[in-house]
Amino acid sequence: MSAPRKLPRWAELGLLPLVNLTAALLLSGLVVRLLGESPWAALKLLADGAFGSQEAVGYTLYYATSYIFTGLAVAVAYHAGLFNIGAEGQAYVGGLCTGLVCLGLGTWPFWAVLPLAVAAGAAGGAAWAFIPGWLQARRGSHIVITTIMFNFLAAALMTYLLVNVLIRPGQQSPESREFGPGGVMPPLHELLAKVGLTFASTPLNLSFVLALLAAGFVAVFIWRTRWGYALRVAGENAAAAGYAGISPARVTIGAMLLSGALAGGLGLNELMGAQHRILIDFPGGAGFVGIAVALMGRNRPLGVIGAAILFGALAQGGSQLSFDMPKVNRDMVVVIQGLVILFCGALENVFRGPLARLLGQREGGA
C-alpha cells in the first residue's frame, strides 16, 4: 500500500544519491577493514587516485567519456520504455566502423577524418541496434533477450574479423595495425598545450568534448522536440501513444537507432582516442557499466554525466587503490563498484522513506 514517497527535487537529485553513495562506501570500508587495511587510507587512495592529480583527473574523465556514451545510449532507450542491454555489442560494431574509417583514411587530415569516423561509429552502432529494435517492433521478440544475443554475435563477429582479416600479419595479438595520424583523436593535453595550458599526458582526448555534446543533443532531443515527446509518450504509456497516433513500432525502432548510434561513440574514445588500433574486446564492459550509469543518473543527461564521472573515478581510483594496497585486489574494486550499483540502483528506495520522514514529508496522494 505504501506508494514510493516523494522527496523535494533537491533531495531527490542531490541528497538521496549522496546518502546512497555514502552507505555503499561505508559497507566497502567494512570489507576493507576485514581485509586488514585501513578503510580511511583506502578511501584516501581511492579519492586521490581518481582526482588527486591532473593525471588522475585525466584518466577518470577518459573512463567517464566511454560511460557517458553508453549511459546515454541506455537512457535514450529507457525513455522509450526499452531496456537496451546491448550497448556493449553496439559499441563494438560501431567502433569497428570507426576503426575501419581510421585504417582506410589514416593519411587524410584529422579534421576530414573526424566527421566520417563519427558518422561511421554512429551508423555501425545504430545498425547493430536496429535489428533487435525491428524484431521487437514487428515480431514482439523481447528486446532484452535480443540485445543480449547481439552482444555475443558482435563478439563473435569481431573475433572472426580480428583473428582472420584485420590482424596485423605476423603477430599473435588479435589487433589491427595502428591507425595513420589522421585517425588519432588529439589528446586533450595536446589541445590544451596549443592554447598555452599544460596538462598531464593522459588518454583523455577530444572524445570527452564529443560525449558532452552528445549529452547536450540528447537533452534537447528528448525534452525539446516533438520526436522526443513522441518517444517519451510511447515509453510512459503505450496505450496513450496509440491513442495519439504515435506508432509504438516506429518509436521503438527510432529509439534503438539513436541508442545504438550513441553507443557507437565509444569507439571514438577507446580506439581513436586511446588505443589507435582496433583490438579485441575494446569496449571492456563499458556497455554494461552504461546501464548502471543510466540507472544512477536517473536517465537524465546531466545525471548520466555525473554518474559516468563517478564510475570513471571508481575505475581509475580503484586501480590506484589496488596498485598501492595490494590486499585490495582488482576483484575487491569490482566489489566496491558493485556495492555502489546496489545502493544507488537496486536499493535506492531503502533510504527514501527515512529521508522523507526526516524532511517531514508524508506519503503522498489520497
Q: Is 187 helix (H, G, I), strand (E, B) or coil?
A: strand
Whichever of 54 and 319 has its CB closer to other proteins, that residue is 319
What part of residues 68-127 is at the interface with other proteins (CB under 8 A)?
Answer: none
Q: Which stretch binds other proteins (CB under 8 A): 185-193, 234-242, 255-263, 342-350?
A: 234-242
Instruction: For 80-112, give one letter per residue: b (16+ CB within 10 A) or e.
Output: bbbebbbbbbbbbbbbbbbbbbbbebbebebee
**289 within 8 A of 93, measured Cβ to Cβ:** no
CA 310, 11, 341, 253 dihedral sign is negative
Applying CB under 8 A, among 247, 345, 347, 353 the residue interacting with other proteins is 247
What is the Cα–Cα distance from 276 to 263, expressed in whole angstroms? 19
Closest C-alpha to 58, from 267, 208, 214, 268: 208
Beta carbons of 276 and 177 less than 8 angstroms apart:
no
Distance in Å, CB of 112 to other proteins, minimum: 26
Neighbours of 246 (CB within 10 A): 19
- Minimal distance in Å, beta carbon 277 to other proteins? 7
The smaller minimum CB distance to other proteins, of residues 18 and 236, is found at 236
DSSP codes joined into one string, 284-345? TTHHHHHHHHHHHTTT-HHHHHHHHHHHHHHHHHHHHHHHH-TTS-HHHHHHHHHHHHIIII
Whether the CB-CB separation of 155 and 92 falls below 8 Å is answered with yes
CB of 362 to other proteins, least distance (A): 4
| Interior angle at CA 129, CA 123 and CA 135, nearest 5 | 135
Tell me, by CB under 8 A, how many residues bind other proteins.
66
Among 237, 249, 302, 358, binds other proteins (CB under 8 A): 237
The answer to whether 72 and 304 are in contact (CB under 8 A) is yes
Range in contact with other proteins (rule: CB under 8 A) among 17-25, 142-150, 207-215, 245-253? 245-253
- Work out which of 270, 296, 297, 325 binds other proteins, going by CB under 8 A: 270
Q: Closer CB to other proteins, residue 36 or residue 365?
A: 365
Let me know if 183 is exposed, middle or buried by CB neighbors in 10 A (0-12, 13-18, 19+).
buried
- Give the per-residue contact string, 324-353, with other proteins (x = CB under 8 A; - = no): --x--xxx-xx-------------------
Q: Does 160 bind other proteins (CB under 8 A)?
A: yes
**C-alpha grid cell, residue 142:** 523481447
Binding mask 34-63 for other proteins (x = CB under 8 A): -------------------------x--xx
**Position among 38, 53, 152, 359 found at the interface with other proteins (CB under 8 A):** 152
- Compose the 182-221 pattern: x for residues touching other proteins by CB under 8 A, - for all others: ---------------------x----------------x-
| Residue type at position 94 | G
Residues that bind other proteins (CB under 8 A): 1, 59, 62-63, 152, 155-156, 158-160, 163-164, 167, 169-175, 178, 203, 220, 224-226, 229-230, 232-233, 236-237, 239-240, 242-247, 270, 274-275, 277, 279-282, 284-285, 315, 319, 322-323, 326, 329-331, 333-334, 361-366
